[in-house]
Amino acid sequence: MDGIVAILGFWLCILTLIVRKPIMKIIEQKQMNGGDATKLEERCQKLEACVSDVSGELIRVAKELDEIRSSSDFSYKLLLQQQTNLVAASTRAQAEKNSAAIAAGGNEEPLLLTTMAPQPEDFGKLTNDHTVRFERTLAGTPAQVWKHFTESNLLAQWLAEGKIETQFGGEVSLNFAPGRNPAGADCNGPVSGLVSRAEPGKSLCLSWNDESAGITSLLSIDFSEEGDSTKVVLTHSRLPQDRIHHFMACWHTFLDTLSANIRNITPPEFNKRFREVIQVYLILVATVLAANPALAESASNTYKIVTTEKSRLMTKYDNLWRDVDTKQREMDTLKRNNPPDANKELDYLDKQLKDKYRDIKEVEYEIKDLDAAVR
């Protein structure tokens, strides 16, 4: 039953996780500008209460469904069947909540109402406990889109510097920028591999080996013509369960960057987009693992994924506060000694402190959202 409850509550968690931050930013901005955010807060509280009521109803329905479960894989099939409808319902709820924020006097349009916001249909899916799948429709013919996956100068603009040799046995060598390696935030080693299939404009398969992270996996990309555009299906398999959510968030962000580049528009900033989607994928992976009775020790797998991500966030949080203490001590020393260029250096340190406090706030949101998602 716990698996079904988690499934039916999944997209409500997405609603809370994704919409909360832009709404809170509007409230904070209005408070800093001396505006009255009371009406906005009251409206948001009412909407949150409504979401809570719906969640309670879903739990009641889940209990009834559990009573009539007739096969061991019922809950997993239920997830696949309900996913599309829940995404649509979540999108409508997001739009309503954002509209309420604007009507209450928000000075900026919330992120989810912009064309570059994460879109529900762009989120990847788990096909099993070690394989992820993304489907994107990109502008251009299959031959044109193929070049973005195989030509070094184009690869460097959205994925990583390096090369993918497009013949059987061709070499794969990719060097990711710091913080952008799908294997993990602390894994910046190169990815190597060999090409096992390369049909220009049709399909590309290769091994994906990250020695620094100890990950050996397989990547396949299929291209098919769809009107004036190209449908791209990216499948990454043999992934470790405790890093699947990180791979999914990275691939989501990489593909958003690629889509923007092809359309000649400014792509979303990588770390910002990654933070927007990582919690969604964390919940998705946890609920799928918990919902599939065929997976051994699913509860412990879910717990491991959640605790690993929270441990990473707590470490990041502690490091940020240590950086703040260091910067503050530097500022205090400058004020005491008052060297000739003290004002310039103080301004620089003050800016760094503000950036650190902003990052701390973001991590606090992520930790709270993670705690709420697993209650």
For the whole model, what pTM was predicted? 0.58
Give the highest mean pLDDT range of 2-11, 191-200, 359-368: 191-200
The share of the chain scoring above pLDDT 70, in percent, equals: 58
- pLDDT tens-digit map of 246-295: 899 999 999 999 999 999 998 988 888 888 788 778 777 876 666 555 54
Q: What is the pLDDT of residues 346-374, one digit of tens each?
A: 888 888 888 888 888 877 777 766 665 55
Sign of CA dihedral 131, 135, 141, 144: negative
Q: What does the pLDDT look like over 144-154, one tens digit per residue?
A: 999 999 999 99
Report the percentage of the chain scoring pLDDT > 90: 28
User: Taking 50 as the threshold, does the pLDDT of residue 165 lie above it?
Assistant: yes
Per-residue pLDDT at 243: 87
- Per-residue model confidence (pLDDT) at position 150: 96
User: Which of the residue ranges 38-42, 77-81, 88-92, 209-213 has the most confident prediction, judged by mean pLDDT?
Assistant: 209-213
Question: Residue 360 and residue 355: Cα distance in Å, rounded?
Answer: 9
User: Which range is most confident: 88-97, 308-317, 352-361?
Assistant: 352-361
Supply 224's token pair.
């098919």
Q: How far apart are the first and last CA of the chain?
A: 15
Does the pLDDT at position 46 exceed 70? no
- In what side-by-side order are the strands of the sheet with 203-210? 125-128, 131-139, 229-237, 215-226, 203-210, 191-199, 171-175, 161-164
Quickly list H helices, the chain: 2-32, 38-67, 74-103, 142-150, 152-158, 244-262, 270-291, 298-337, 342-373
- Indicate the pLDDT class of residue 224, thresholds 50, 70 and 90: very high
Q: Rg (Cα) of the chain, in Å, rounded? A: 23
Pairwise CA distance, residues 281 & 275, whole Å: 11
pLDDT given at position 238: 92
Q: Tokens in use for 186?
A: 């602390």
The reported pLDDT for the residue numbered 185 is 59
Picking from 248, 244, 251, 252, the residue whose alpha carbon sits closest to that of residue 301 is 244
- Distance, in Å, from the CA atom of 247 to the CA atom of 316, rounded to the nearest integer, reads 19
Which fold does the domain 120-281 belong to in CATH? Answer: Alpha-D-Glucose-1,6-Bisphosphate; Chain A, domain 4 (3.30.530)
235 within 8 A of 125, measured Cβ to Cβ: no
Eight-state DSSP code of residue 219 = E
